[in-house]
Structure 1
Amino acid sequence: MRIVRPLGVMTALLLTATLGSTAASAVPAESASGEGANGAGCTVPRVPGAEKVIGACLTDLTTAGTVGSGHTDPADWAGLVAPGTVNPSGVKGLQLDGYFPDTSTTNTNHGWNHDSQFVIRLPERWNGGLVVAGPPGVREQYANDRIIGDHALARGFAYAATDKGNTGPLIHRDGIRPGDAVAEWHTRLTQLTVAAKQTAARHYGHKPARTYVAGTSAAGYLVRWQLENRPGLYTGGIDWSGLLITRDAPNILDTAPAALRAYPRYRAGEPGAREAMHEAGYPAGSEPLWEFHHRSAWDALQRTLREEVDPGYDGAKEAGTPFCPEGTGAGCDTDYVYADRPATVHDTVERLSLTGKLKRPLITLHGTLDVLLPITRSGDTYADMVDESGRHAKSLHRYYRITAGTHTDGLHGSHPGLVRPMLPCFNAAFDAMTAWTTQGVTPPSSRTVPAPPAGSDPVEDCTL
């Protein structure tokens, strides 16, 4: 039996790739609750702190099996995977779905209408490790199944993922004060990590020997935050094109408005507009990607995050006016100038900000053609923050600038001669992290990784 999630309003492709998806999906029927045996003879361990847990023994925990069985949501990873990507399969084990106590109701998976949902997958052949992830943007708990979960499971790791406590473009409605929805992301990833470790211990007889945190975009930001603030929970982490949040510029709140102002002038052929885009961080050579991001990403991302941290900018209106023209003035996100906003807004952002003070090993990947989170305003800046925080943090960090990588691998399909997929580099980084933390094999020095050599398959190959 499958419970089908209601069909919502579908946003444009990159918005779903970055912020979230509301497409219909098949989800598993309730087969067990609490601890005990389900109808298939599975023993379902209790997940500490969870309000609800259901479980199922599956012949394949990877998406090769869970798509057909209804134990994942393909809409949740729309746009994140390059065409032609071949994932591993054939990992037998136990899947647990559930949620922690929460008051918000944006996640409709399983018909639960309850946030703080999670998925935990426990392979039969366990290597003693655990990988924990949050979703990019404001997606749900299955968003990383193809780009992180499948590969972790095939390596023998247990895998756990959370929806971060709120989903969809109206996250600003969650919480009491500005910034609360994003702050909850920190709490929910920490909560799941603790619970997943204890669940694995109950299932396998001992706790994981090593735990890695991984994620892309907004979840890359969470990887950094966890390794700065909750290092005792993790062995290390991999941050893929992470969102940068800092009290002062550069951050997304001053990068996206610059594009919203300059791109329409560029499209109209106005002199100096291309240079204005480059000055705002959007790299030369990325011009073919601009129209798509203007239509589908910059405006929505800006309004979603700005409403969360600075709701007073547009008064009582929620999340501004889509695509308001430059020069509209107060309340228009195209004209938003973060540096001019009141100190209270900067204080809110500071509460969520990164510091660069790493306390566990981190590998960062960022594409040179990222035009959602431009590399000079995100990855490069965070690497500088780590370097400036001291030798210890610097020794824990490796930063790989991936030539021709962009924010989401799905764009390789429409721009195969321009964009390379990042997933092969993520897999290489994951293997480098495990070798670093378990065998003492030092990863290559931070560098700009060149484009794939002629004759290689960019969907499969990457050498850091």
Structure 2
Amino acid sequence: MLRRLAVAPLLLATVLSVPAGAADQGDRCSRIRVPGAEYSVSSCLADLTSTGTRLTGHTQEIEWKGLLADGAVLPSGVPGIQVDGYFPDTSTTNTDHGWNHDSQFVIRLPKHWNGGLVVAGPPGTRRQYANDPIISDQVLAKGYAYAATDKGNTGDELYQDGDRPGDAIMEWHRRVAELTVAAKEVARQHYGRAPGVTYAAGLSAGGYLVRWQLEHYPELYTGGIDWNALVFTKDGGLLATLPPALRAYPRLVKGDRSAREEILAAGYPKDSESQWGYHYNKQWDLLQRIVREEVDPDYDGDRQGGTPFCPPGSTPGCDTDYDFASRPESVHRAVERISLTGDIKRPLISIQGTLDALTPPATFGDVYDRMVTAAGRAPLHRYVHVPGGTHTDGLVVIDTKTYKPMLPSFVAAFNELESWARPTTRS
């Protein structure tokens, strides 16, 4: 169940604790029904933003750890209704609320609605509350309803979900579309009319989801905005860009100057060097293993998730020895299955940090911009480089003179999207 603290001024009513004959506000909460959901619970809150929900147990702060820069100022004071629940699913990686059930979602309905809806998926292996301060707070303050999904599987072993290579990631797309359809109907029920605009938004893996939705489900959206988006392509994406960094970084630590040049040559931006140690220890190896196990489970035999941090040539199935280009055709087909094409059919704004050392511009943002152009969709894409931007704003603390938070750029880009992508826009 949702954890509730004794903070009466912030928590106006929850459907689980409202007795028969309660005030209309409680009844208004209990009337919320989410189409297709297996279970949902509604709460009337004095503040739907992370400032309020962290006190009432309607968010999980651990899920957005590292996504904010120190001192980030967030909007607050948005009353309304929050709906938490889950759609039917067989996997159980999401333990939020003690439900042990995947395909969890959150829908937030502000009291003062502007007629729009924003839908998001989380970055990386995180869950439905991951975007609360960086996306949910920002759009709620403007009057948008907001909905987010956990993508249908979470955690560092998400590749165990599904029956064939690529299934877990393909579920991500289905879950975003499922929630978008449901959230539109929830808004119609609650406000008496359907949203006039619906935007998709996301960071990293969440940005990849935005692009996919605009390529494959454009009828659901007015436009989208992505932030340091992950890109899967037929050339391998992360599976091609991460192994060179994994091979070179240990040599760099030992003083091999040529190793730095190898990492730069693999597309990692100059002046991002102070992040490399963090990414080597926390991100590069982990992401390579998760994605590789999802699309190429036979590489390391029966081992689940490979062997981390092994020296090249030292261990069968070693992460650092991975060479996507030489893998069997079946692996390439699995990657192609989850790959983007650039064929967006609604307006999209992409913001890309110039010093992102996880999804670097040269091998991610720039690549997708060229894909959009090649697909003949350049008029629908606005691509913005953000000087000094790192993959997540939490990394700015590593070097505050060199690195700059990207949240203000996201807010500015969202304002631009509002002016550009309107209901009358057609591709």
TM-score range, shorter chain: over 0.9
Cα deviations by residue, 1:305-339 (Å, 9 ceiling, x for unpaired): 11011100000000001111122254011110010
Instruction: Show the counterpart of 1:365.
Output: 351
Task: Give the aligned residue type for 2:402.
Answer: L
Q: Distance in 2 between matches of 1:149 and 1:253?
A: 31
User: Is residue 402 from structure 1 mapped to residue 389 from structure 2 by the alignment?
Assistant: no
**Is the 1:32–1:54 contact (alpha carbons within 8 Å) kept by the matching residues of 2?**
no
Q: Distance in 2 between matches of 1:271 and 1:414?
A: 22
Shift of 1:37: 7.6
User: Is residue 335 from structure 1 mapped to residue 300 from structure 2 by the alignment?
Assistant: no
Q: Distance in 2 between matches of 1:278 and 1:231?
A: 36
User: Is residue 434 from structure 1 mapped to residue 421 from structure 2 by the alignment?
Assistant: no
Q: 2:310 aligns with which of 324, 349, 352?
A: 324
Q: Distance in 2 between matches of 1:239 and 1:219?
A: 8
Task: Give the aligned residue type for 2:422.
Answer: T
Task: Give the aligned residue type for 2:108.
Answer: R
- Which aligned pairs between 1:252-263 and structure 2 lie closer than 5 A? 252-263=238-249
**Is the 1:120–1:196 contact (alpha carbons within 8 Å) kept by the matching residues of 2?**
yes
Higher mean displacement: 260-269 or 96-105 = 260-269
- CA RMSD in angstroms, aligned pairs only: 1.9
- The answer for unaligned runs of 5 or more in structure 1 is 5-27, 442-464
Distance verdict in 2 for CA 1:37–1:384, change over 3 Å = farther
Q: 1:68 aligns with which of 55, 72, 85?
A: 55
Distance verdict in 2 for CA 1:2–1:47, change over 3 Å = closer
Shift of 1:74: 0.3
Instruction: Show the counterpart of 2:405.
Output: 421
Instruction: Show the counterpart of 2:256.
Output: 270
Where 2:298 maps in the other structure, the secondary structure is helix
Instruction: Show the counterpart of 1:31.
Output: 16
Instruction: Show the counterpart of 1:8.
Output: none
TM-score scaled by length of structure 2: 0.93
Distance verdict in 2 for CA 1:81–1:430, change over 3 Å = same
Q: 1:194 aligns with which of 170, 177, 181?
A: 181
- Which aligned pairs between 1:62-461 and structure 2 lie closer than 5 A? 62-249=49-236, 251-328=237-314, 330-390=316-376, 393-438=377-422
**Is the 1:3–1:29 contact (alpha carbons within 8 Å) kept by the matching residues of 2?**
no
Shift of 1:41: 4.1
Distance verdict in 2 for CA 1:326–1:155, change over 3 Å = same
**Is the 1:141–1:163 contact (alpha carbons within 8 Å) kept by the matching residues of 2?**
yes
Distance verdict in 2 for CA 1:352–1:32, change over 3 Å = farther
Percent identity for Structure 1 against Structure 2 = 58
Q: Distance in 2 between matches of 1:29 and 1:56?
A: 4
**Is the 2:197–2:423 contact (alpha carbons within 8 Å) kept by the matching residues of 1?**
no
**Is the 1:2–1:29 contact (alpha carbons within 8 Å) kept by the matching residues of 2?**
no
Distance verdict in 2 for CA 1:176–1:439, change over 3 Å = closer
Task: Give the aligned residue type for 1:169.
Answer: D
Cα deviations by residue, 1:359-416 (Å, 9 ceiling, x for unpaired): 00000011111111111000000000011111xx100000001111010100112321
Where 1:242 maps in the other structure, the secondary structure is coil
- The answer for unaligned runs of 5 or more in structure 2 is 5-12
Where 2:139 maps in the other structure, the secondary structure is helix
Q: Distance in 1 between matches of 2:17 and 2:212?
A: 34
TM-score scaled by length of structure 1: 0.86
Task: Give the aligned residue type for 1:412.
Answer: V
Task: Give the aligned residue type for 2:219.
Answer: G
**Is the 2:3–2:58 contact (alpha carbons within 8 Å) kept by the matching residues of 1?**
no
**Is the 1:3–1:111 contact (alpha carbons within 8 Å) kept by the matching residues of 2?**
no
**Is the 1:328–1:335 contact (alpha carbons within 8 Å) kept by the matching residues of 2?**
no
Cα deviations by residue, 1:220-271 (Å, 9 ceiling, x for unpaired): 000000000000000000010010101114x100111110001111111114
**Is the 1:42–1:56 contact (alpha carbons within 8 Å) kept by the matching residues of 2?**
no
Task: Give the aligned residue type for 1:31.
Answer: L
Q: Distance in 1 between matches of 2:304 and 2:347?
A: 39
Q: Distance in 1 between matches of 2:347 and 2:114?
A: 20
Shift of 1:3: 3.9
